[in-house]
């Protein structure tokens, strides 16, 4: 069982919603990213999605693109992120999930990636440009290494694909709130709520809603329809703007909103 | 591994948000590609609007210049809008209409595919958005204005490096957000399945016409086929009907740019590219040891793409096509050579295929036959060429 699975089990038993915070590794720099992880955990985050920067991130909006480019320019690579994960593990047992793109992983070697990062203390990976149909090999490697491979559902995912995805899902299922890319906006979460309801009929694997959540109000609304919520751009924006001190109070406000 | 593979290349490496619309497109394409009405309408527009079949022109002057094999030019430059891009744009627009889509989007580098898409959007009454890097908008003002004249909206893309690869990424992101009413007309044989197959099919008229036309010219004799390769749509269209014919030696000519240094060329297949994933397909790609995509460079804005169509990657590994390169300077020389010897100003992209004649022709025999696909005309490039030659024009 991974730390991620254990955390979701504990949350369920405590009847609490999960809060997953995205932080781009190496943006604005490695030190700040580490401080942000500490701040997030202290403020009530249950897991960290660690961004692995890619030059052409198809699923990401402007804020995470900007953070990725900054991180790459800072010289961040999977090798340096491996060290980052090891360092985080010296002070924290918070579940860590890598969020990156397949080209970097392929270049590193899929099996090496899973083995090295598992050993360093990462609990799973989210690779948005590997849809279910392309994921057989990678899923197998992840399974053999007790490493979560997170799959997606969206408002457009068809009935038969929801079923198919639920048969292999583990860790949690990432429910994308809207057809589009990451980034804060006002949304009606009832739309994805219909999808998460379908998912919950198929599997006991927890569901987390992400994309667009940028305020306590949005967090509260989204959390109604899932086991957890994921907040990225709103945190990354503050870090890029040099407002590390705002991160903890902001995450605390999200925590309070979903604990209501 | 999924369908839509050429050997191990291709696939559908896209976010889940895009998967439903790719499946919809695949189903529609499979339905219409053998549909008689669709095929007839496509053929009619190619003939009566775009100007197919294009000429297979015997270039006597160029043949005499080298004094070796006979050289023929496949004149895609004579098509409406000035390049082969219109073939694919018509095909995809007709498909979009049948799918009930009201809007089309496209990415463009030099602006040729943007103009082709804006043209068919005007023709078929579709709303059109063209994504273009801010750097390319600056370099290609004329084509930006042409697109506006045709009623399209040009959307500047400043993310990344502000060039074709970023425009393509942004078009995919936009598409993911507007899947209900929008069709994405990809301009080359790249992207996730079914695009590489579909674009190849819409462009394969180039090769099938060559095959037919060469019969009356040489009794069917054909020894060499040359085409330039950026994403590779005119090349795949040229080579596809000859893929199993080992007597025809095929050369795909990439942009060697300024040098072999990373970032100074677009030699995806003929240089340092390695298999990886860009814009939804597994194919050769220019990348760093960490797997970050490297910006490609060429004097020709239509060739500076760091990826390549997955079928070309398969053709490379299978030894079906030889992938080679020529430099900016060699392309510039060929540009001027064809202009002076044949009275035809070729596109800088096509000039790369022509430039390879310098290397190929000395090895050919007099009774052999060479066909070069002239993918587009060079009017759009005169400013760039003037600048490169140190001439001032306003």
| Residue numbers of A annotated as active site | 49, 60
Q: Which of A52, A60, A112, A129 to mutate to test the interface with B (most CBs of B within 10 A)?
A: A129
Mark yes or no for CB contact B290/A106 under 8 Å.
no
Residues A111-155 pLDDT 10s: 999 999 999 999 999 999 999 999 999 999 999 999 999 999 999
Residues B114-152 pLDDT 10s: 999 999 999 999 999 999 999 889 878 889 999 999 999
Distance from C-alpha of A182 to C-alpha of A189, rounded to nearest angstrom: 15
Q: What is the mean pLDDT of residues A23-37?
A: 97
B161 pLDDT more than 80? no
Bridge-based pairing of strands B103-108 and A207-210 is unpaired
User: Tokens 């499946």 label which residue?
Assistant: B23
Q: Kindly report the nearest CA distance between residue A257 and chain B, in angstroms.
A: 28
Q: Cβ distance B232 to B190 under 8 Å? A: yes
Residues B69-122 pLDDT 10s: 999 999 999 999 999 999 999 999 999 999 999 999 999 988 899 999 999 999
- Going by pLDDT thresholds of 50, 70 and 90, the confidence category of residue A184 is confident
Q: What is the mean pLDDT of residues A23-39?
A: 97
Give the residue among B11, B292, B313, B51 at the shortest CA–CA distance from A130.
B11
Active-site residue among B70, B188, B375, B380? Answer: B375
Compare all CA atoms of chain B with the CA of A132 and give the residue at the minimum distance.
B16
| CB contact set of B230 (below 8 Å; sequence gap of 6+) | B188, B254, B255, B266, B298, B300, B302, B303, B304, B305, B308, B349
A182 pLDDT more than 90? no
Higher pLDDT, B161 or A31: A31
Instruction: Annotate B55-100 with DSSP letters as a single string.
Output: PEEE-HHHHHHHTSSEEEEEEGGGSGGGBTHHHHHHHHHHHHHHTT
Residues A44-100 pLDDT 10s: 999 999 999 999 999 999 999 999 999 999 999 999 999 999 999 999 999 999 999
Closest CB to A102 among B2, B13, B177:
B13
- For residue B394, the model assigns a pLDDT of 65
- Going by pLDDT thresholds of 50, 70 and 90, the confidence category of residue A187 is confident
Distance from C-alpha of B311 to C-alpha of A37, rounded to nearest angstrom: 44
Residues B240-283 pLDDT 10s: 999 999 999 999 999 999 999 999 999 999 999 999 999 999 99
Percent of chain B scoring above 90 in pLDDT: 90
- Going by pLDDT thresholds of 50, 70 and 90, the confidence category of residue B310 is very high
Distance from C-alpha of B280 to C-alpha of B278, rounded to nearest angstrom: 6
- Which residues of chain A neighbour B191 with C-beta distances below 8 Å? none
Neighbours of B218 (CB within 10 A): 18
B157 pLDDT more than 80? yes
Closest CB to A156 among B12, B20, B172:
B20
- Which residues of chain A neighbour B22 with C-beta distances below 8 Å? none
Mark yes or no for CB contact A129/B293 under 8 Å.
no
- Which residues of chain B neighbour A151 with C-beta distances below 8 Å? 16
Distance from C-alpha of B293 to C-alpha of B278, rounded to nearest angstrom: 8
- Going by pLDDT thresholds of 50, 70 and 90, the confidence category of residue B292 is very high
Percent of chain B scoring above 70 in pLDDT: 99
Instruction: Annotate A40-52 with DSSP letters as a single string.
Output: HHHHT-SEEEEE-
Q: Kindly report the nearest CA distance between residue A190 and chain B, in angstroms.
A: 17
B107 in catalytic set:
yes
Closest CB to B276 among A57, A103, A158:
A103
Q: Kindly report the nearest CA distance between residue B25 and chain A, in angstroms.
A: 14
Interface A:B, Cβ pairs < 8 A: 119
Angle made by CA atoms A39, A214, A13, in degrees to the nearest 5: 65
Residues B209-219 pLDDT 10s: 999 999 999 99
What burial class does residue A228 get, using C-beta atoms within 10 Å of its C-beta: 0-12 exposed, 13-18 middle, 19+ buried?
A: buried
The whole model's pTM is what?
Answer: 0.96
How far from chain centre, in Å, is Cα B160? 23
**3-state SS class at B251:** strand
Q: Cβ distance B52 to B77 under 8 Å? A: no
Q: What is the mean pLDDT of residues B370-393?
A: 92
Closest CB to A107 among B1, B173, B290:
B290
Q: Kindly report the nearest CA distance between residue A150 and chain B, in angstroms.
A: 12
């Amino acid at each position: 069982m991974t730390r991620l699975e254990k955390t979701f089990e504990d949350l369920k038993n405590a009847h609490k919603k999960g809060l997953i915070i995205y932080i781009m590794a190496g943006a604005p720099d490695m030190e700040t990213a580490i401080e942000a992880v500490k701040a997030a955990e202290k403020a009530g985050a249950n897991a960290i999605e660690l961004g692995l920067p890619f030059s052409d991130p198809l699923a990401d909006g402007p804020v995470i693109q900007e953070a990725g480019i900054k991180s790459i320019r800072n010289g961040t690579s999977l090798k340096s992120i491996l060290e980052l994960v090891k360092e985080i593990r010296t002070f924290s047992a918070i579940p860590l999930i890598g969020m990156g793109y397949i080209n970097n992983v392929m270049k590193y070697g899929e099996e090496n990636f899973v083995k090295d990062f598992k050993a360093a203390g990462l609990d799973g990976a989210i690779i948005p440009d590997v849809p279910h149909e392309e994921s057989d090999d990678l899923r197998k490697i992840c399974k053999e290494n007790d490493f979560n491979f997170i799959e997606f559902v969206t408002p457009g995912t068809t009935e038969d694909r929801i079923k198919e995805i639920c048969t292999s899902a583990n860790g949690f299922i990432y429910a994308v709130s809207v057809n589009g890319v990451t980034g804060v906006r006002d949304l009606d979460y009832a739309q994805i709520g219909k999808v998460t309801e379908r998912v919950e009929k198929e599997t006991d694997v927890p569901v987390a809603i992400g994309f667009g959540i940028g305020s306590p109000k949005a967090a509260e609304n989204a959390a109604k329809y899932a086991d957890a919520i994921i907040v990225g751009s709103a945190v990354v924006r503050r870090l890029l703007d040099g407002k590390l001190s705002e991160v903890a109070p902001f995450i605390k406000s999200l925590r309070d909103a979903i604990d209501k | 591994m999924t369908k839509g593979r050429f050997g191990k290349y291709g696939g559908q490496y896209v976010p889940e948000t895009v998967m439903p619309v790719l499946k919809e497109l695949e189903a529609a394409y499979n339905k219409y590609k053998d549909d008689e009405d669709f095929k007839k309408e496509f053929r009619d527009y190619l003939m009566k609007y775009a100007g197919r079949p294009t000429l297979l022109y015997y270039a006597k002057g160029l043949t005499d210049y080298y004094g070796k094999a006979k050289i023929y030019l496949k004149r895609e430059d004579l098509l409406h809008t000035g390049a082969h891009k219109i073939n694919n744009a018509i095909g995809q627009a007709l498909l979009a209409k049948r799918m009930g889509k009201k809007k089309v989007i496209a990415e463009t580098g030099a602006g040729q595919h943007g103009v082709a898409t804006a043209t068919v959007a005007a023709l078929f009454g579709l709303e059109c958005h063209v994504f273009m890097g801010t750097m390319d908008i600056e370099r290609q003002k004329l084509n930006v204005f042409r697109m506006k004249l045709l009623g399209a909206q040009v959307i500047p893309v400043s993310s990344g490096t502000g060039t074709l690869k970023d425009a393509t990424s942004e078009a995919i992101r936009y598409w993911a957000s507007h899947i209900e009413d929008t069709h994405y007309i990809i301009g080359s044989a790249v992207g996730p399945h079914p695009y590489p197959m579909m674009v190849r099919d819409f462009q394969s008229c180039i090769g099938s016409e060559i095959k037919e036309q060469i019969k009356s010219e040489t009794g069917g004799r054909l020894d060499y086929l040359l085409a330039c390769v950026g994403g590779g749509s005119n090349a795949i269209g040229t080579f596809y009907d000859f893929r199993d014919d080992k007597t025809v030696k095929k050369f795909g000519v990439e942009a060697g740019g300024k040098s072999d240094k990373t970032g100074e060329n677009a030699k995806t297949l003929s240089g340092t590219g390695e298999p990886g994933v860009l814009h939804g397909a597994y194919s050769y790609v220019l990348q760093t040891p960490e797997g970050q995509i490297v910006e490609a460079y060429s004097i020709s804005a239509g060739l500076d793409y760091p990826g390549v169509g997955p079928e070309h990657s398969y053709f490379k590994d299978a030894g079906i096509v030889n992938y080679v390169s020529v430099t900016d300077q060699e392309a510039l020389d060929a540009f001027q050579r064809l202009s002076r010897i044949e009275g035809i100003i070729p596109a800088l992209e096509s000039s790369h295929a022509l430039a390879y004649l310098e290397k190929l022709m000395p090895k050919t025999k007099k009774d052999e036959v060479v066909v070069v696909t002239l993918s587009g005309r060079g009017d759009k490039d005169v400013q760039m060429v003037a600048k490169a030659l140190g001439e001032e024009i306003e």
